[in-house]
Amino acid sequence: MRKYNRGWRKRPRYTGTTNRLTQNYACYPRNPYIAVVAEKPKAAEKIAYALGKGVKCRYKGIPYWSIQIDGRRIFVVPSAGHLFGPYSPKRGFPVYEFEWRPIFEFDRRASHLKKFYDLMKYILPNASLYINACDYDIEGSVIGYTIIYYLGDPSRYKRMKFSSLSPTELRRAFERLELPDISLVEAGMARHEIDWIWGINVSRALMHAARKFTGQRIILSAGRVQSPTIVEAARRWKEINLAVPTPEFSLVLECLHHNISFKAYPHGWRPQSKEEAISIVSYLKKNPVLSVSNVESNKIPVSPPPAFNLGDLQKEAARLYKFSPMKTQKLAEDLYLEALISYPRTNSQKLPPTINYRNIIARLTKSEYYGSLAKKILSENPVLKPVQGRKDDPAHPAIHPTGVIPKYLDTDHRKIYDLIVRRFLAAFAPRAVISRTKAELIDKHGRKYSAKGVTVIEEGWYQYYPYLRPKEEELPLLRTREIVRVTKASYRTNWARSVPDLSRTALLKWMESVNIGTEATRARIIEVLFSRGYLESRGGKTVVTELGESIAEIISTLFPELSRPDLTRDMEQKLELVRRGVLTRRKVVEETKSIMDSLIRNFNERLEDVGYRISIALGAVRPDITCMLCRKPAKVRNGIALCEDHHEALLRLEKALPEISRKLGVEEGRAVKSIAKLRGKAGKWVIEVASNWDLIRTRRRRLVNQ
């Protein structure tokens, strides 16, 4: 028999819990019991404490809650997002056969999910009823259903539907359990399977072509929604760098009437050259009077904006605070998990009558920041009827506060919470009224000028949501044929260019406009492009990297269907039909396989050419001829070796030069030197061509002389 040292005591067997009530088996899953699956630990905690005073247990360090209600044992167990995903052990491409497996088994980055999986495996198998209490959207439905399907019994499945984590709404959702949301689950699983088929086959095809030509393993990836987005970003990047600005001349007149100063600007015309601008300024200094030819004044009622959906909130936070869409989404999700706001990943701008507005606003009267505003709404609006927006979402209403008063919020969370509360209150406020006055003035040569004034007459909803309040401009009382004195006249040279915006918010707006991705996934997809090195932030601006340009070019050339939003948009529409029960998941997935099979066949026919193009684009192979201004592959035209980008910049600059020279009143050589100094205004490639203008001209002359 083995001997032990004196004083040694055998440790009690680890049960996975640290609570004293473990002795009473409160944390032990004994039949019968109900298993409630939540999406995250914090959500599980909110659900547990809303349903009753429970016992907090732990299994392998992961918390779960045990509750006793009317003699029924209920376990609330958290996930950490998706625990299952599509997987195939098959190598190479094309690959279409897959199965749903625990993600931690095939993705090293998801090793933390194993403990959550083990917890589910410990609790779920013997439950008498399963309740999916994940967020009520496509992703939440898939998360909860796959856990119950693979570790429990989907025949005993119910759904909790709620739009906020407030105790009242959670209790009501638990008391009114709904039937399984199978159509939502089917749409969600179809989305994952389609994205998996696209992503794995396109990525493997690109990597195979590069490896076959170079012998190197180069990591490349592409996705169904990411691909058209990076192609659009690259298109915008090209237009930004190919921009040739033209000089525009603006006049500003400072006027005085009845001791009130105001500004006037040319109306319907502008100086067409620098010489003309100087001439007009000189004239006005010698003849500093204008005559009032017409005055119009209108009172305009302005309706309040609707409550936010996620896209509107992301755009407003970007406008006011420069927050990225993903940051705004993350902050809003934090507020939701604290039960301060309703579910943020919604497309709705509507507040349905089922929400108890009066109760929410009454609770806000106790807020230090919004109490007076909430009291004003209740006193002035006996019938609380909010303004409604156009967009709707069948799953969730517009984002609104729950009425729970936060104890502490840091600066960024406070900013998002402030926007949501104020926008919600503004939806119940009366219309604002503004006065717009426009005066038309003329000089002795008949040139027209205009001056505008804006005044807020009735504050209305502006006092609740001041972030859209117009800037007031005072204009004196002007009458027709009165004389106004010009105290100062000046002109400015503006280098105007028309280029698309390339920012996270601009890409988000584009994705919304072409209807690709969802309100819940768009911001995350944009961040994926940054994490993969396709996009970068430099000096506060978004730029497309060389790798991003290369990937966009490769996808556009080899997978044109994937580069355009049409295919992705069409697939989104079919997924919506799956959600409605019109199409089956299997049919949509089989159609995806057919499309991919056709693309792969075309790809294989051009494998050698593809490999060469990829290798050059990624710098794995040095091209025979390189651009004289950069290291990209080039063609020799008129004795000059330029890449496609710098060649296009040269063509655009040559086309615009005569007009630029005329407006500036200088020869073309001096005009080019002016453009070369316009950093931040002219396109990068145009500046590089302009900076090397003399060298380009010299090489051309040599070719002509030869």
Element of type H or E holding 341: none
pLDDT, residue 282, reads 95
pLDDT of residue 703: 58
pLDDT computed for residue 430 by the predictor: 94
Non-local (6+) Cβ contacts of 52 within 8 A are: 67, 68, 69, 74
Tens digits of per-residue pLDDT, 142-195?
Answer: 999 999 999 999 999 999 999 999 999 999 999 999 998 899 999 999 999 999
Of 91-100, 168-177, 214-223, 474-483, the range with the lowest mean pLDDT is 214-223
Contacts of range 568-572, beta carbons closer than 8 Å, 24 or more positions apart:
568/224, 568/225, 568/228, 568/516, 569/514, 569/515, 569/516, 571/194, 571/224, 572/515, 572/516, 572/517, 572/518
Write the DSSP symbol of residue 395.
S
Report the sign of the C-alpha dihedral through residues 42, 43, 47, 50, in that order: positive
DSSP bridge pairs for 341? 401
Tell me if 312 sits within 8 A of 349, measured CB to CB.
yes
Whether 511 shows a pLDDT value over 60: the answer reads: yes
| Cα 210 from Cα 472, distance rounded (Å) | 60
Angle made by CA atoms 276, 282, 284, in degrees to the nearest 5: 105
- Interval 407-416 mean pLDDT: 94
pLDDT digits (tens, 9 = 90+) for 23-69: 357 888 887 899 999 999 999 999 999 998 889 999 999 999 999 98
Name the phi and psi angles at 541, rounded to 5: -120, 150
- Residue 115 to residue 61: CA distance in whole angstroms: 8
What is the arrangement of strands in the sheet containing 55-59, beginning at the earlier edge strand? 55-59, 62-69, 72-78, 33-38, 129-132, 157-159
Q: Which pLDDT score is estimated for 706?
A: 52
What pLDDT shows up at residue 234?
A: 95
Average pLDDT over residues 267-294: 94
Average pLDDT over residues 252-272: 93
> DSSP letters along 222-236, please?
--TTHHHHHHHHHHH
Element at 237 (helix H, strand E): helix 226-241
d(CA 280, CA 267): 14
pLDDT at position 523 is 92
Task: Label residues 501-524 b or e (16+ Cβ within 10 Å = b).
Answer: ebbbbbbbbbbbebebbbbbbbbe
Question: 6 pLDDT exceeds 70?
Answer: no
pLDDT at 473 over 50: yes
Cα separation, 65 vs 540, whole angstroms: 45
β-pairing, 432-442 vs 289-302, is antiparallel
**What pLDDT does residue 22 have?**
45
Bond before 94 cis per omega within 30 degrees: yes
- Residues linked to residue 356 through DSSP beta bridges, in sequence order: none
> What's the whole-number mean pLDDT along residues 648-653?
94
pLDDT reported for residue 496: 84
pLDDT at 316 over 50: yes
| CA-based nearest residue to 184, from 512, 576, 504 | 576
The highest-confidence range among 60-74, 214-228, 385-399, 412-426, by mean pLDDT, is 412-426
Report pLDDT digits (tens) over 344-358. Answer: 999 999 999 989 999
Q: Which domains does the chain have, with CATH numbers?
A: 20-180 (3.40.50.140), 200-242+500-617 (1.10.460.10), 246-304+432-496 (2.70.20.10), 310-426 (1.10.290.10), 635-705 (no CATH)
For residue 10, pLDDT beyond 70:
no
Ramachandran region of residue 389, left (φ > 0), alpha (ψ -120 to 50) or beta?
beta
Please identify which residue in the block is written with the tokens 């002007």. 478
The pLDDT score that the predictor gives to residue 63 is: 95
Residue 64 is which amino acid?
A: Y
Mean pLDDT, residues 197-204:
88
Tokens in use for 172?
Answer: 């009501």
In percent, the amount of the chain with pLDDT more than 70 equals: 95
> What is the predicted pLDDT for the residue at 499?
86
Q: Which residue has the tokens 């200088």?
A: 666
Q: If 0-12 CB within 10 Å is exposed, 13-18 middle and 19+ buried, where does residue 582 land?
A: exposed
What is the reported pLDDT for 556? 84
pLDDT band at 616 (very low <50, low <70, confident <90, very high): confident
Give the E-state strand segments of 127-203 in sequence order.
129-132, 157-159
The average pLDDT across 674-682 equals 90
Catalytic residue set: 343
The pairs formed by 10-13 with CB atoms below 8 angstroms and a separation of 24 or more are: none
